[in-house]
Structure 1
């Protein structure tokens, strides 16, 4: 018995392929299936089919013309459920383009969606040759015809080709005189598809309800007041905080117009609409005597425009800001200075400041080179304040103040159990703490070599490995480094890695010493007195000469100390005289000036008597000062001084050495630096050395 033949006449090749596969799975062994689609140049099959099956009613006239005298079956087609859960999740009133062709098929698809209960959306039919404005349409769905979707629509949901209904499939079986048992098989396949779709819709519905409950909790626990209103200012949602600020129960606010519950709302609305081109605008508004920041967010995309208003009292904003600043300040993670805090009248210094300001706008590494006391950290603060990461933390570390064995754990952190005494739970390193901000590496020239290699890897890879840890931690940090050392010389002496220097030296800043811009000496001193103490005093010519002839080895830091001395010494005086300056500033380049011979001789004699009274003979002090002077520019700590002094038969205990250095520091004979900076002799100290070495010269 010859096989029955059926022609599937469809609008599109994809629909033809889908229907052919569906029929072949059930009756393909009994019927030969041919297909013709209107979008492809298919020739009419060289056969006399038993029936012609069209995919839509609109194709019937065309089918009759092609196959005169053959029975034509136009089916009822249904949506089977692919991706319907995505349709369900679309917001109510959302504009959705329904893509199909021709128009009749698009309209039938919309009708089928309504039949499934998916009637919460605003469906817009789209078909070949259709002209529409897509400005307010972000989503398209289609029953397998998504290739017709306009490119402007990015969010697409393909719900799959529509299936042939069971009644239509029965008509096919009857026309082909096939056993109706195949209807049962088709029904099982049909029901399996529907059940799968139903399960997805059910899960999606549960998730949607759960999401709505979570949203309700989030909205009510939100710190700001929230009001949702349509374009006519009718309120549909309000949270607890907004009800508190408005001093009214929520049920009395919902469905009311904003102007009925907010006095002078029209004025507020005008202010907000002045910036209406922006999706977000804000204004300060008085709600029952409480100053409140009202922010309006324009919600677009729906058929009807709507607005979200957020309300926050200024008092709570200030309180929160103070809390954040307090916490950051407690950790020392806030900047204290900006470029306005760097005082100068010198052209060279102004050029350095402008260069630093330009570097600040980037996120590249910066290396500040300057003598001690020139405000390297002040520059670092100012650069951070003017940088893109100004809102992030500013974390500073001084290598000269950290023992070598603690540097790695301080910089990179450590995991629990990394070493004896490690904190439970481990500790974040300074790189982690500075994440999203700036890490200031002060006195980088004092960094141990083994730390330099690790530091280089961290700067290259932007990730750290804690001491004793196994997990890599990404760190995005802006680096500013500073040093008073000659790095080039340190590289030659193999004390500093050359590759680390080039990694840090992307933008070098060289701050000239105070001696090179002496016009700033009087300016900084007088401005400091005015800013700190609110006083303005004239500086006498003789005092001015003393200040300008001084070498200022301690640079600006020394100058600020002198300003503090001057303030307290000149109280009650109308002008600043030499008598109001520290002795170290009064001493000239020679041992004694003619005007101060007697004063200095008396001063040095007093110092010698004081040292002798403490069991420190002049010969021993002279030898100690010679050692310190000879080691100028090198690290000079207590232990090395003890060892060096013992070579000249002067044996001092650690306590005695500590006391000796303290007495000399008090008399401004020496400067005692931090851990690795050691001790150096002052200009006054050099003159005192000459005095005790040649006592008869006085």
Structure 2
């Protein structure tokens, strides 16, 4: 059984929240309530999930590192709000709670109900100055905290419950959403059912609906109907009117469904393309017996579910980095960041050009977090690693029964998960041609068609694409669609390699050392010279790897700078000029056993049509054209080493092809040959 821990600061709220969650999750999860205080040490509170109330985020320090935490909202119970309408208009009301944060949050929620003419003033223990002559006071289960005064009335609205959105998120984080879906909907709608029941009693008692209750029910986002014994509507709120439409067809169909489900208190009802969760309750007044019906649009529940899709996967749905996380000193990066900040404000597609390891995804996340879509999902997909056979279903989703092994009910694709957010198409140059056509259609129409589906689904996404390849050459070789490239390359950004911004190398290296808990305040001249003089073919990623390598022995070996040289200049790579060293590191294969003639033969083969070769095809062509009798296993190892150096790329099922660095090396070899 899952352990759900509630971490709060005051006992009254803890008791009420614990009771609420036990009623909701008691059968499926163990609910534990923890009161923060002297008896609780920092980093000691754990569980499968820890829930902290909003405006109490400082309590996170008590949570054990690595434990999942949710900061939840609480809401005023609607059936308690009616007590506010007893207070005369234009009155000053003292709002009492235990802390400044909770009091301010309560006032914000009370103001949403727009009770005419009430002016709210905060009070909490420790406040230095407050409105002392308020004739009315309200509190939330904290009657002991109300200060002395001459009040006409003190109203207790009881502790605020966790919002439905918070309960849904908790259920999803614990993997209990499907199990508790009906209970969650019923638990959220029950206070409004009680409120509507009171409305029905007032209707028959006074022959008209209470104006105060009408105001409250009019604020509801759910439909409310009251039906008499003959199932004729005697009250309907604005939302229900909108759901039922102008004609009587939908209302008549709903009544038929209520009769058909007479033994059920709640059920799902479909009307055309709309679906509703329906809950009914009987209400009696004297000899009259009536039915209260609550309607909730299922799409509302689905929107809540979609907003928390990031809980379904660990990668790709959250952007962690912002512009302030990008370390740089160079003028070229300063200009790049300024441009990227401007691009972030808009909605146009951004294309990030840059070598492998130069920080394209970090920049993409920063753009997302500086954009109007920052509260939406950030979904990353890497076309160099995605399987060709599954790429379409991963991107566009699939319908129920689309193929053998498909999940019941289908599955949403990455474009749908990114709805209202950003999708990052990394290594887009590796996308197969057959997929590029479908990507172009999605970008043009902003609609996706799931595999096996028949209905186009609108998606509202911003696209950021990236590649470490020369896209112009891919277009020339017809390996990438020209129309798709121009659709993506609307706002291009070119990330310079680390060797072209050497002012940034040392600050980055210091940051990485600090990240690995190594003192970087006093780096010797030898270390600075080694770090700044090295060409960094792997860019920022390689720099970070070296810092991590150093951190593993720097704490116990004071002579670690001597090891740094051997890390950057392994045996077999000694050279004179820095340019030669750079060429050796970025272009030549590392393994001494690789014959340069064999390497060049592989690169030459990949630079001719069809530009992509399988391992078997490479083995045959090397033997037929160049006389190199290599086994497929040997070719696989050679290709792997060339891939490690960034000369080629190899994708399972799609073959091996040249990278920009491989093309550059081949060009240099050909130039050298022509000069002799």
TM-score (norm 2): 0.50
How many angstroms does 1:482 deviate by? 0.7
Q: Is the 8 A contact 1:547 1:585 kept in 2?
A: no
Aligned residue in 1 for 2:548: 564
Q: Is the 8 A contact 2:351 2:493 kept in 1?
A: yes
Within 1, Cα distance between the matches of 2:567 and 2:606? 22
How many angstroms does 1:567 deviate by? 1.8
Is 2:343 the partner of 1:494? no
How many angstroms does 1:370 deviate by? 1.0
Aligned residue in 1 for 2:181: none
Within 2, Cα distance between the matches of 1:463 and 1:669? 36
Within 2, Cα distance between the matches of 1:270 and 1:665? 58
Aligned residue in 2 for 1:411: 395
Structure 1 residues 362 and 665 mapped into 2: Cα distance closer, same or farther (>3 Å)?
closer
> What is the number of equivalent residue pairs in this alignment?
410
How many angstroms does 1:664 deviate by? 8.3
- CA deviation map 1:360-385 (0-9, x unaligned): 12222111111111111111111111
Aligned residue in 2 for 1:464: 448
Question: Higher mean Cα deviation, 415-424 or 381-390?
Answer: 415-424
Aligned residue in 1 for 2:600: 626
Q: Is the 8 A contact 2:401 2:452 kept in 1?
A: yes
**Structure 1 gaps, min length 5:** 1-221, 236-256, 291-305, 609-617, 691-698
How many angstroms does 1:443 deviate by? 1.1
Within 2, Cα distance between the matches of 1:282 and 1:553? 62
How many angstroms does 1:407 deviate by? 2.4
How many angstroms does 1:456 deviate by? 1.6
- Of residues 221, 228, 240, the one that matches 2:81 is 228
What is the correspondence of 1:149-548 to structure 2 with a 5 Å cutoff? 225-226=77-78, 227-228=80-81, 234=87, 311-312=160-161, 323=173, 327-330=311-314, 332-536=316-520, 538-548=522-532
Within 1, Cα distance between the matches of 2:101 and 2:496? 57
How many angstroms does 1:442 deviate by? 0.8
- CA deviation map 1:649-678 (0-9, x unaligned): 443443444456668889x79887655676
Q: Is the 8 A contact 1:368 1:481 kept in 2?
A: yes
Within 2, Cα distance between the matches of 1:509 and 1:223? 45
Within 2, Cα distance between the matches of 1:564 and 1:642? 38
Within 2, Cα distance between the matches of 1:588 and 1:522? 26
Structure 1 residues 266 and 583 mapped into 2: Cα distance closer, same or farther (>3 Å)?
closer
Within 2, Cα distance between the matches of 1:424 and 1:567? 48
Structure 1 residues 422 and 517 mapped into 2: Cα distance closer, same or farther (>3 Å)?
same
How many angstroms does 1:475 deviate by? 0.9
Structure 1 residues 365 and 607 mapped into 2: Cα distance closer, same or farther (>3 Å)?
closer
Question: Higher mean Cα deviation, 539-548 or 272-281?
Answer: 272-281
Aligned residue in 2 for 1:654: 632
Within 2, Cα distance between the matches of 1:336 and 1:266? 30
Structure 1 residues 278 and 545 mapped into 2: Cα distance closer, same or farther (>3 Å)?
same
Structure 1 residues 283 and 553 mapped into 2: Cα distance closer, same or farther (>3 Å)?
farther
Q: Is the 8 A contact 1:636 1:680 kept in 2?
A: no
Aligned residue in 1 for 2:620: 643
Within 1, Cα distance between the matches of 2:101 and 2:639? 72
**Structure 2 gaps, min length 5:** 1-73, 115-119, 126-138, 143-154, 174-307, 670-676
How many angstroms does 1:590 deviate by? 6.3
Q: Is the 8 A contact 2:379 2:417 kept in 1?
A: yes
Higher alpha-carbon Rg: 1
Aligned residue in 1 for 2:41: none
Q: Is the 8 A contact 2:509 2:543 kept in 1?
A: yes
Structure 1 residues 422 and 284 mapped into 2: Cα distance closer, same or farther (>3 Å)?
farther
Structure 1 residues 339 and 519 mapped into 2: Cα distance closer, same or farther (>3 Å)?
same
Within 1, Cα distance between the matches of 2:630 and 2:121? 72
How many angstroms does 1:412 deviate by? 1.6
Structure 1 residues 308 and 556 mapped into 2: Cα distance closer, same or farther (>3 Å)?
same
Q: Is the 8 A contact 2:375 2:421 kept in 1?
A: yes
Structure 1 residues 282 and 441 mapped into 2: Cα distance closer, same or farther (>3 Å)?
farther
Within 1, Cα distance between the matches of 2:370 and 2:546? 30
Q: Is the 8 A contact 1:629 1:680 kept in 2?
A: no
Within 2, Cα distance between the matches of 1:649 and 1:516? 40
Within 2, Cα distance between the matches of 1:266 and 1:436? 34
Structure 1 residues 563 and 265 mapped into 2: Cα distance closer, same or farther (>3 Å)?
closer
Within 1, Cα distance between the matches of 2:101 and 2:418? 44
How many angstroms does 1:439 deviate by? 0.9
Structure 1 vs Structure 2 CA RMSD: 5.1
TM-score (norm 1): 0.49
How many angstroms does 1:318 deviate by? 11
Structure 1 residues 575 and 590 mapped into 2: Cα distance closer, same or farther (>3 Å)?
closer
Within 2, Cα distance between the matches of 1:540 and 1:674? 43
Within 2, Cα distance between the matches of 1:346 and 1:278? 49
